[in-house]
Amino acid sequence: MIVKDDIGLYCPAGNFYVDPLKPCENALITHAHADHARPGMTNYICTHATKDIMKLRIGHELNISSVDYGQEITLGNATVSFHSAGHILGSAQIKINVNENITVITGDYKVHTDNTCDAFQHIECNTFISEATFANPKYVWTNFGDEIERIYNWYLGNKNNGVNSVLCAYSLGKSQRIINALNKQYPVDIYAHDNIRNINKIYQNYGISNLQTIRINENKDMTSGIIVIPPGARKSKFLKNIGPYKTGFCSGWAINKLDEYDEGFKISDHADWHELISAITKSKAKEVILIHGSGNVLKKYLNTKGIQISDFTRSNTKESTMQLSMFNE
């Protein structure tokens, strides 16, 4: 029902691609991260929040139709609906029903709780096309609240030494989750990069609270707060003017040693090893296809459980490039 070509995952029955890599006529978009939502498509369909974020990040001229979670639409011979993926605001798994044969394409997802987006929805299906970004038993997340407490204590230590705390987190999703948790639990000012503050406004439009931040001002002493910036901004000029600083990186990749940062915080918006297995198992799918990342270890594990696996992760080198681009976002 779904085939993969050089544009991406294609559904012939509905004549659409999901998260296409190259320009095409009809694009269904799982979420607004840049490695899934690209410019150049004739028509887009996604959730309302994803539409708002794409218009901000890519351009207001995009031709986008948006839908509610669970709303069924007919495209050719396919019935399609979007269901929460728990990854970031607006993120969706796409359920495709062709003659009662159901495929779910997860996009990026996580199963553990996130106060800044809807919870992951388990959907039973025949074919489950799952991301596999962290598909290795070494990737098991620690408690989110514990990591937030570690961030706060790291900041207190820096502040006592007169050092700025520069926290690097992806501007869409990760930053909002961290800012929301810090504001809710700790008495600390949050300074944030404009890219983050612009996304915050969209989150606030969807009722997400505790996202108040202060605009970064390099002429001001900011050691009494936490400065949140996207990882790509850590080479920015303004950092040269703020005095001494330490950097922290919030990512699932922080399980590995990070050479470019002073500290790592293991906070991910992707499923860890256990979450991948639980989502795949609960889908009751007879066929599982892995995309994004390296699926080898998970493939072997699922084979021992009698689940049939197709692995798209190594068949297309663009996928690994995509993963890298996300890392550098």
Residue ranges in contact with Zn ion by CB under 5 A: 33, 108
Report angle CA 255, 256, 262 to the nearest 5 degrees: 90
**Rounded to the nearest whole angstrom, what is the least distance from the CB of residue 271 to Zn ion in the complex?**
11
Distance (Å, rounded) from C-alpha 144 to C-alpha 52? Answer: 27
Which residue has tokens 């994004």? 292
Nearer to Zn ion, 92 or 307 (CB): 92
Q: Closer CB to Zn ion, residue 92 or residue 182?
A: 92
Contact status, residue 228 vs residue 179, Cβ threshold 8 Å: yes
For residue 112, what is the DSSP state?
S
Rank residues 53 and 98 by Cβ distance to Zn ion and give the closer one.
53
Residue 122 to residue 140: CA distance in whole angstroms: 20
Q: How far is the CB of 133 from Zn ion (least distance, A)?
A: 9
Residue 325 Cβ vs Zn ion, minimum distance, rounded to whole Å: 11
Task: Give whichever of 108 and 319 is closer to Zn ion, judged by the CB atom.
Answer: 108
The strand pairing partners of 3, in sequence order, are 10
Beta carbon nearer to Zn ion, 113 or 185: 113
Neighbouring CB atoms inside 10 A of 154's CB total: 18
Rg of the chain taking only CA atoms, in angstroms: 20
Minimum distance from CB of 276 to Zn ion (Å)? 15
Single-letter amino acid, residue 326 = M
Q: Least distance (Å) from Zn ion to the CB of residue 61?
A: 23
Please report which helix (H) or strand (E) contains residue 191, including its range: strand 189-192
